[in-house]
Every structure is written in structure tokens, then in C-alpha cells.
């Protein structure tokens, strides 16, 4: 699929991997709707991107908010062909912590709600709108790119909720791709390793350097632009479908 002039939706586009992806799509000629929470920099980033791009405040797990944002995008762009799911939240805590205190079930539930259910919510609602598109020469009506994590495969101590949520994204990638194949919509997932995200950049420089050095090659943290580049390549390559792609410099996470 050619990115130039497509209508694209990027969740979590107000920072980190989502911001980089929104910028990369716009640089390639896409019209971009950034979906994020109101406290994000989404409105500022949409203004910087310019063109027809805009910001819509939406919690990805909220059906009404996502529906309204997608309908606005369809109205503004004449349709949406691309959906990139980058919205997500971290969580940490052992199954049983100090003092034999069990993990907070509300935190586990919220992590699943945003990272897994929120991703599926956007996929199903975006795909229903993509189904209305005229197919291109390859019969393609849309492309979806999700964000998982290497924690889906090698969750570390304290990542029970986060790993479960990202493992769910990995697990649903192929069946959703198969579901949507009949209407010409592709679905892939990127599983990034250690990247320069806002959360990571809050760590001391020495700690970031140490983490980067643990990556076989290149021995540094990943750059958001590298994630964005892969997301764009997935959109552009019609044979990429139903795949989960690790983007991690060959790291395999240790227990802690």
C-alpha cells in the first residue's frame, strides 16, 4: 500500500513510538489522526505535523470515544486505510510481593483493559470502516500494525500483568489477520525490545547506557524512528500479514 495520501490513525501518538510513527507517516504524505489522552502532547504534535492531521482525545478502551474519533477521521480524510496501535501503559509488581501481599487485581485488570482490549477495540472499529474502502490493485483495503513487546515472550520478574497484555496482542495477531483477509485488510504486530521511550528516558543516563550495552547489536537502546520505519514498511509491503516481528537487536531478556 502506498502511504502517500492515505488516511491513518495512530493511537498513543502523543509521545514515544506513536509520536515517531505519526511523524513518519506524515513525512511520507499520509493524513494522520492522533488518538491519545487529553493530557498528552497529541494536539501539539498534530499541529507540528500540519496538513490535514488532527488530534482526537480518546481512551482506546472506550468504545464511544474511539468510534467518535474514527468517524471524525473518516469524515476528514474520506476514509482510513491505516491504523497503528501504539497506546499502552506499563505496570510492575510481583504476583506476591513483600509481606506476602498479592498483586493488585485492579492494576492487572487495567493493564489488560488498555493494552489488550484497547488494541482490539481499535482494530475492530477501524477495520469496520476500512471494509468500506475501495480496494487497490492488490485487493487491499487497509493495514493494521499493533505494538506488543519482547515481554510477551520473556517477561521479567514483576511483569506478570504487562506480559499478559502484550502476549494477548501477539496471540490475536494471526487469527485477526485471517478474519480480515476476506475483506483485504492486513494485520501485523511489532514486538520492540529496549527503546528510548519517555519512561526509559526518565532513568539515569548511566542506567540507560547499561541497558543499551546489554543488547547484542547494535549495543544501544532502539530509537523511536526505527520502530516508525518498520511500521511504515509493514504498511507498504503487501506480503507482510499475520506476522509478529521482534525489533530488539537480538536481545533475550533475563529474569531480572
Which residues are identified as catalytic?
162
Residue 199, sorted as left (phi over 0), alpha (psi -120 to 50) or beta, turns out to be alpha
Phi and psi at residue 245, to the nearest 5°: -110, 120
Q: How far apart are CA 114 and CA 106, in angstroms?
A: 12
Containing H/E element for 56? strand 54-57
Q: How far apart are CA 199 and CA 194, in angstroms?
A: 11
Q: What is the 3-state secondary structure (H, E, C) of 166-221?
A: HHHHHHHHHHHHHHHHHHCEEEEEEEECCECCHHHHCCCHHHHHHHHHCCCCCCCC
Q: Which are the contacts of 228, defined by CB distance < 8 A and separation ≥ 6? A: 17, 20, 21, 23, 24, 25
Q: What is the CA angle 195-25-123, rounded to 5? A: 80
- The single residue listed with the C-alpha cell 480524510 is 77
In angstroms, the first-to-last Cα distance of the chain is: 40
DSSP 65: H
Amino acid at each position: 500500500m502506498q502511504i502517500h495520501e492515505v488516511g491513518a490513525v495512530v493511537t498513543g501518538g502523543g509521545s514515544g513510538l506513536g509520536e515517531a510513527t505519526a511523524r513518519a507517516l506524515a513525512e511520507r504524505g499520509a493524513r494522520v489522526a492522533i488518538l491519545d489522552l487529553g493530557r498528552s502532547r497529541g494536539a501539539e504534535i498534530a499541529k507540528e505535523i500540519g496538513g490535514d492531521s488532527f488530534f482526537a482525545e480518546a481512551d482506546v478502551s472506550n468504545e464511544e470515544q474511539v468510534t467518535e474519533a474514527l468517524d471524525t477521521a473518516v469524515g476528514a480524510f474520506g476514509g482510513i486505510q491505516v491504523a497503528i496501535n501504539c497506546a499502552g501503559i506499563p505496570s510492575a509488581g510481583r504476583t506476591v510481593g513483600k509481606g506476602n501481599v498479592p498483586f493488585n487485581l485492579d492494576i492487572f485488570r487495567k493493564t489488560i483493559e488498555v493494552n489488550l482490549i484497547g488494541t482490539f477495540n481499535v482494530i475492530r472499529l477501524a477495520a469496520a470502516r476500512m471494509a468500506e474502502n475501495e480496494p487497490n490493485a492488490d485487493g487491499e483495503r487497509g493495514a493494521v500494525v499493533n505494538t506488543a513487546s519482547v515481554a510477551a515472550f520473556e517477561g521479567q520478574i514483576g511483569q506478570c500483568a504487562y506480559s499478559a497484555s502484550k502476549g494477548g496482542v501477539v496471540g490475536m495477531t494471526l487469527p485477526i489477520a485471517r478474519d480480515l483477509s476476506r475483506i483485504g485488510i492486513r494485520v501485523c504486530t511489532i514486538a520492540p525490545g529496549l527503546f528510548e521511550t519517555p519512561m526509559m528516558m526518565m532513568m539515569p543516563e548511566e542506567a540507560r547506557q547499561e541497558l543499551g550495552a546489554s543488547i547484542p547489536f547494535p549495543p544501544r537502546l532502539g530509537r523511536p524512528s526505527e520502530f516508525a520505519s518498520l511500521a511504515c514498511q509493514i504498511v507498504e509491503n503487501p506480503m507482510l500479514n499475520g506476522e509478529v516481528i521482534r525489533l530488539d537487536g537480538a536481545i533475550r531478556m533475563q529474569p531480572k
